[in-house]
């Protein structure tokens, strides 16, 4: 049996009781390590589970799926995923390969950023399409996510923006020389995401467009959702470019139309809440 087990979002204890039992009974346990991170490392998980974990990076999963599935028809193999196995990244490839090999599989679900963002008080059923915001490079500055956010907002929907993660990336030089030397991991912050959005807004204005989303649009920055030190900050897009949220992972929401109850919840997390500023973002929208 192949078990796909969600680990949730915080630390070792966010696994479900059922998931923990499965991990402890499996012959081999893989930890998917390229689409998300917990606030604790592999060693902490190994100690808590009482099991050795095999790190599975993107290459392993894509190129060595057969070794992951080896003998899974006669023994139990677990594939652990931060969040839910079918959350922001699906592992359909591995499932389809297992099915083709006649290996049964089972999913042990858990919270993922896709549903845990509800903790800020915005209602999940009011979200439109989720977008990914990627790190811009000198040569590549895609804006397509902006148009998706715009469309959601025109429809009154909120947009969850998943922020880029660069793990085990090679520099162009190392890639071209075939050297397997990897850059340090990079995680996009809410500040960086907001800066990119502000740049797009500026570009659009230069093109004569008055964008649906402006520096005053209410957004929510979320960091380390589900962890004891999670941080949520609501305010304008402009405020998101400077808000301090600490370490990764970050996500951002661009709001659409808001229900009074949603607005009341967001006020709990207002970056303005300490000051009595007349410029308070929520006073302006309320």
Binding site for its own copies (CB under 8 A): 6, 8-18, 20-21, 84-88, 90, 92-93, 95-96, 99, 107, 109-112, 114-116, 118-119, 121, 123-132, 151, 155, 157, 162, 225-226, 261-262, 264-265, 268
- Does 9 carry a binding-site annotation? yes
- Does 250 carry a binding-site annotation? yes
- Exposed, middle or buried: residue 277 (CB in 10 Å: 0-12, 13-18, 19+)? exposed
- Burial of 24-62, coded b for 16+ CB within 10 Å and e otherwise, reads eebebbbbbbbbbbbbbeeeebeeebebebbebeeebbe
Q: How far is the CB of 16 from its own copies (least distance, A)?
A: 5
Q: For strands 159-163 and 131-133, give the pairing.
A: parallel
Nearer to its own copies, 175 or 246 (CB): 246
The C-alpha atoms of residue 82 and residue 85 are separated, in whole angstroms, by: 8
What Å distances lie between residue 106 and 13, 32, 98, 136, 174, CA to CA? 21, 16, 11, 38, 39
- Does 138 carry a binding-site annotation? no
Nearer to its own copies, 42 or 151 (CB): 151
Q: How far is the CB of 9 from its own copies (least distance, A)?
A: 6
Nearer to its own copies, 87 or 221 (CB): 87
- Beta strands (DSSP E) in 146-241 are 159-163, 165-166, 186-187, 218-223, 231-236
Nearer to its own copies, 17 or 172 (CB): 17
- Does 117 carry a binding-site annotation? no
Q: How far is the CB of 58 from its own copies (least distance, A)?
A: 16
Q: How far is the CB of 175 from its own copies (least distance, A)?
A: 26
- Does 198 carry a binding-site annotation? no
DSSP string, 24-46: HH-SEEEEE-SS---SS-HHHHH
- Does 113 carry a binding-site annotation? yes
Nearer to its own copies, 129 or 183 (CB): 129
Task: Show binding-site residues for S-adenosyl-L-methionine.
Answer: 9, 84, 87, 112-113, 163, 225, 250
């Amino acid at each position: 049996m192949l078990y796909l087990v969600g680990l949730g979002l915080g630390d070792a204890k966010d696994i479900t009781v059922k998931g923990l039992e499965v991990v402890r009974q499996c012959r081999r346990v893989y930890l998917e390590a390229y689409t998300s991170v917990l606030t604790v490392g592999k060693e902490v998980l190994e100690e808590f589970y009482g099991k050795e974990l095999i790190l599975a990076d993107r290459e392993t999963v894509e190129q060595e799926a057969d070794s992951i599935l080896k003998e899974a028809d006669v023994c139990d193999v677990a594939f652990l995923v931060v969040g839910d196995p079918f959350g922001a990244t699906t592992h359909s490839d591995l499932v389809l390969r297992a099915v083709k090999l006649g290996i049964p599989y089972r999913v042990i679900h858990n919270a993922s950023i896709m549903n845990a963002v509800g903790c800020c008080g915005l209602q999940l059923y009011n979200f439109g399409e989720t977008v990914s915001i990627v790190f811009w490079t000198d040569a590549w500055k895609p804006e397509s996510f902006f148009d998706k956010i715009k469309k959601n907002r025109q429809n009154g929907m909120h947009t969850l923006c998943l922020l880029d993660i660069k793990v085990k990336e090679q520099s162009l030089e190392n890639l071209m020389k075939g050297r397997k030397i990897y850059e340090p991991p990079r995680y996009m912050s809410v500040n960086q995401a907001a800066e990119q959005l502000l740049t797009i807004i500026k570009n659009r204005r230069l093109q004569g467009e008055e964008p649906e989303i402006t520096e005053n649009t209410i957004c929510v920055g979320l960091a380390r959702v589900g962890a004891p030190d999670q941080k949520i900050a609501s305010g304008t897009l402009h405020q998101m470019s400077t808000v301090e949220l600490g370490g990764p992972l970050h996500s951002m929401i661009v709001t659409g139309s808001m229900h009074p109850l949603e607005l009341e919840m967001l006020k709990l997390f207002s970056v303005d809440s300490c000051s009595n500023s007349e410029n308070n973002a929520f006073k302006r929208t309320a």
